[in-house]
Chain A
């Protein structure tokens, strides 16, 4: 997975039927200072990210597992939102999507 920031939304009327249940967002990859690093790309968003949100995303086959239908043709998907970087008391992620 890598860090990314939501920089836009992709609207598409004519698309694969399995994309009907998905939101497509434009992300820019980020470095550890949360500065843009690399080219923007389109990712599926099963979680409902807002504009400007910092997320982590996965590429390749595993991106499909984040979609409601894992047979959706995808190569990038948002897997979670970043609250912040840095340690907290718990360490492990808590349940609660």
Chain B
């Protein structure tokens, strides 16, 4: 799993039916300082918990997790937002 910052919402009217009713967010992955963006493209992730713009979130790229969360045995998707990170948390 990786930390990322929600930077936008993705609006789509044409998509695979497995995504019907789901909310898609654009997430920029960030370094351990929670600010510096990683040098890789942002993720389009299924929001399972109701994250908001600007929030630090926990992302997961794993097919079996997506199958469980979407309650679908064959979704063409493996990218999820699974939690909002408490910004006050410290190691």
Contact = CB atoms under 8 A, between A and B. Distances in A.
Partners in one complex: yes
Interface of A: 1-3, 29-32, 37-38, 46-47, 56, 58, 60-66, 70, 77, 79-88, 91-97
10 closest Cβ pairs, A-B complex: A80-B15, A66-B76, A1-B44, A65-B76, A56-B44, A95-B20, A81-B14, A85-B8, A80-B12, A65-B74
Contacts of B79: 1, 58
Given A65-B18, A77-B76, A80-B12, 18 more contacts: A1-B44, A1-B77, A2-B41, A3-B10, A3-B26, A32-B8, A56-B44, A58-B77, A61-B78, A63-B76, A65-B76, A70-B74, A81-B14, A83-B13, A85-B8, A87-B11, A93-B11, A94-B13
Interface in B27-66: 28, 40-45, 53, 63, 66
A56 B9 CA distance: 12
B14 A80 contact: yes
* Size band of the interface chain B makes with A: 35 or more
A85 B66 contact: no
Nearest to A85: B8
Contacts of B8: 32, 85-86
19 contacts: A1-B77, A2-B41, A2-B44, A3-B42, A32-B7, A47-B15, A56-B10, A58-B79, A62-B66, A62-B78, A65-B75, A66-B16, A79-B15, A79-B77, A85-B11, A92-B22, A93-B11, A95-B17, A97-B15
